Structure 1
Amino acid sequence: MAMLEDLPADLRGIILVTPWGLYLAVCDVVLSLLLVVRIFAPDFLYRASCGLGYSVWRWIQFIFEGCNGARITISGDRLPTRESAVVVSNHVAWADFYLIQSLALRSRMLGQCRWFAKIQLCWVPFLGWGLWAMGMPMVTRNWMRDLRELQRVFGGIVRRRWPMWLISFSEATRFTPEKYDESAAWCKQNGRPCIYFIPVPRALSLPCSI
């Protein structure tokens, strides 16, 4: 990769990302076509989507860490391998995805990562269909509407024993000073304790009944 280091940043980015982007498009098409087997072969579709997801995410991690020289330091308890988990993280920047995927790679769960996504993406040809085929939770951020979708996702984990990292940015948005000020104002107006350094998670700010 030494010969790429002297290139302008924009050109270097195009050279590195274009092949990955084309491969991602192919995987989205394949996953979209596999949607037809979801009803009668859900286990096959899940395994196939895990394999394709692993290859896509492993490639982008290689660009981030191998080609761009990003150094990710992991500390704390050693995580078990091949174990399902609900992963809750703050959302500060796009680099958050690389950090979580690096941890998933080391835990041998990269292909089993499933991220909460906006329901509107379902209408995006191939990209949204690919997310749907992978079993990503497609949510509206309305608890009553999303309850059935969450039951579907957890049903796959519980009934079919699908290994999965279910990843959620509970703040439901990237952190900015402006968004934090809005969150602090909402907490004050509604008599809620203000959470420092992060916007209040959406689950706490939405009215719901149990």
Structure 2
Amino acid sequence: MSPSPLPAPLRGVIAALLLGVNTIACCIPLFIIALLKLCLPFASAQRVADDLLRRIHERWISLNNLWIDHLARSRWHVSGLQGLDYQHSYLVTSNHQSWVDILVLQYVLNRRIRPLKFFLKQQLIWVPVIGLAWWALGFPFMKRYSKAYLAKHPEKKGKDLATTRRTCAKFRGKPTGIFNFAEGTRFTPGKHREQQSPFRYLLKPKAGGIAFVLDAMGEQLESIINVTIHYPGGNPGFWDLLCGRVHDIVVHFEELPIPADFIGKSYDQDEAYRARFQQWVNELWAQKDHLLEQLHKQYQAHS
């Protein structure tokens, strides 16, 4: 795609305005339908409301994709999308390098599978406008307890998993896309050194989040979609995307079958299963690290 004639800061301001207007315009009908859903607790009304909320969510992503195409003007290198089905449920996981990752995933997966639902910290529900929108769309909010807190309050142990089970129960019988950043945080050289990560391009994965979703709704999930994202020009900030400075975006998808012996197991209670599952996730991350090494070499000329 040819370069935009607009200066990068001007593109950033226009893109930010379009994102804001799109969000407000979509949130108005979103909140109205969410309130009607609360007032009409009948199965048929709930189904209609859920369908309308999903369509608004997809429209919000589609309109964002328009300004990404015309203002960000990135070159996309996408592989492995074949075989995904809109009527199936998936657990999606990815490496995490930037807040841009979320828009990248939404851009590529919109209407290929159901809109992704992220597990969010409970405090994020108070984020103006967006927090309420996440609630209206049925995003699962989690109250996480630190190891230090659990040491003082052992009665809270297992509450995270119980909350995950209750949340995932709402998705039963409905095609759903559940998303989890296995690393739990964005990659930075500082975090990489602090962790003493065995991987070159990745932080250590946290297997618990994936395992809890499999425990809660593994029989409903079609497969795991393992995503690898690479930015040849370096990890961008959100403002970089708005300004059109993210010239190349590489996204590789791999659909993985869920091992049968991972279904119906308890990650927090079964020590042998927990060790086996952690090893499986670490092997996935070792393969992802090797793929990122190849992508760094393959797309170095485009950075």
With the shorter chain as reference, the TM-score category is 0.7 to 0.9
Q: Does 1:167 align with 2:179?
A: yes
Task: Letter of the 1:209 partner, please give it.
Answer: D
Q: Which residue of 2 aligns with 1:17?
A: 16
Conserved 8 A contact 1:38-1:45: yes
Change (3 A) 1:148 1:25: farther
Is 1:176 the equivalent of 2:191? no
Distance 1:149 1:57, change over 3 A: farther
2:65 and 2:107 in contact (8 A); partners too: yes
Q: Given the alignment, which residue of 96, 100, 123 partners 1:95?
A: 100
- Contact 2:4/2:71, CA 8 A, preserved across alignment: no
Q: How does 1:1-210 map to 2 (within 5 A)?
A: 5-39=4-38, 40=41, 41-76=45-80, 78-82=82-86, 83-105=88-110, 108-109=112-113, 112-142=115-145, 144-158=158-172, 161-184=173-196, 194-203=198-207, 209-210=268-269
**C-alpha separation between the residues in 1 aligned to 2:12 and 2:167?**
35
Residue by residue over 1:166-204, the C-alpha shift from the partner in whole angstroms, topping out at 9 and shown as x without a partner, is 1110111100011112222xx8xxxxxx45532223445
CA contact (8 A) 2:120 2:140 kept: yes
Distance 1:125 1:75, change over 3 A: closer
* AA in 1 matched with 2:96: H
CA contact 1:45–1:133 (8 Å) conserved in 2: no
Scaled by the length of structure 1, what TM-score is found? 0.78
Identity %: 26
Mapped contact 1:90–1:171 kept (Cα < 8 A): yes
Structure 2 match to 1:191: none
Change (3 A) 1:29 1:153: same
Gap regions ≥5 residues in structure 1: 188-193
Larger mean Cα displacement after TM superposition, 115-124 or 30-39: 30-39
- The answer (yes or no) to whether the contact 1:89–1:169 under 8 Å persists in 2 is yes
Give yes or no for contact 2:117–2:139 (8 Å, CA) kept in 1.
yes
Q: Structure 1 counterpart of 2:171, which letter?
A: I
Letter in 1 for 2:168: F
Paired residues of 1:29 and 1:126 also in contact (CA < 8 A): no
Deviation at 1:70, TM superposition (A): 1.2
Residues in 2 aligned to 1:176 and 1:183: alpha-carbon distance in whole angstroms:
11
For residues 89-141 of structure 1, what are the alpha-carbon distances to aligned partners after superposition, in whole Å with 9 as ceiling and x for unaligned? Answer: 01011232233223313x622x5221222211112343211101101121234
Task: Kindly name which structure, 1 or 2, has the bigger radius of gyration based on alpha carbons.
Answer: 2
Which residue identity does 2:133 align to in structure 1? G
Judging changes above 3 Å, is the alpha-carbon distance between structure 1 residues 112 and 162 closer, same or farther for their aligned structure 2 residues? Answer: farther
Report the CA distance between 1:31 and its aligned residue: 2.8
Q: How many residues align?
A: 195
Contact 1:171 1:202 (C-alpha < 8 Å) held by counterparts: yes
> What TM-score, normalized to structure 2?
0.56
Whether contact under 8 Å (1:64, 1:98) holds in the other structure is no
